[in-house]
Amino acid sequence: MKLSRTLLCLLTCAIGSVAFAQSPVGLWKTVDDATGKEKAVIRISEAGGIFTGKIEKLLDSAKQDAKCDECTDSRKGQPILGLTIIRNIKKSESHWDGGDILDAANGKIYRARLTLSEDNKKLDVRGYMGTPMFGRTQTWLRLE
C-alpha cells in the first residue's frame, strides 16, 4: 500500500512538472527576426489564466534609458525597461493567443500568438493584424 501511494505521489509530481514545462511562463531572450541580434530579456508570467510579458533586461547598453516615445496608449513616454509588451494572452488548443504585443521600437500594437517548440526551449512569437497569416514571427529562446 505504501509503495502505491509513493508511486502515485511521484506520478502526480511528474505530471505537474510536465504541465508547467508546457507553458510560456519564464524568462525569454528575444532575437530580432530581421538582424538575428539579441535584443532583450522578457519575463512571461501568468495570473488567473492570463499571460503577460514584461521587458526585464535590455541587451543593448545604449538603450537602457530609452522611453516608448512612439507608443500611442498609456505606455507612451514610459521607460522601455520594465514595460509590459504582451497583454491578455490566454491558452488555446496548441498555442496561446487572444491578446496583443507591443513593438516598442515603433509603438505599434499587434495581435499576438505564442507557440512553444516541442522541447519547450523556443517560443515562436507571432505579431499580426487581422489574421495570423498576415504577420511576422520572432523565435525567442528560453533562459529559465
Per-residue b or e along 119-131, where b marks 16 or more CB atoms closer than 10 Å to that residue's CB: eeebbebbbbeee
Confidence band of 121 (pLDDT split at 50, 70, 90): very high
Which of the pair, 8 or 23, is modelled with greater confidence? 23
List residues bridging with 135 in a β-sheet.
128
pLDDT at residue 132, rounded to an integer: 84
Which of the pair, 43 or 105, is modelled with greater confidence? 43
Q: Does domain 2-142 have CATH number 3.10.150.10?
A: no
Q: Where are the domains of the chain?
A: 2-142
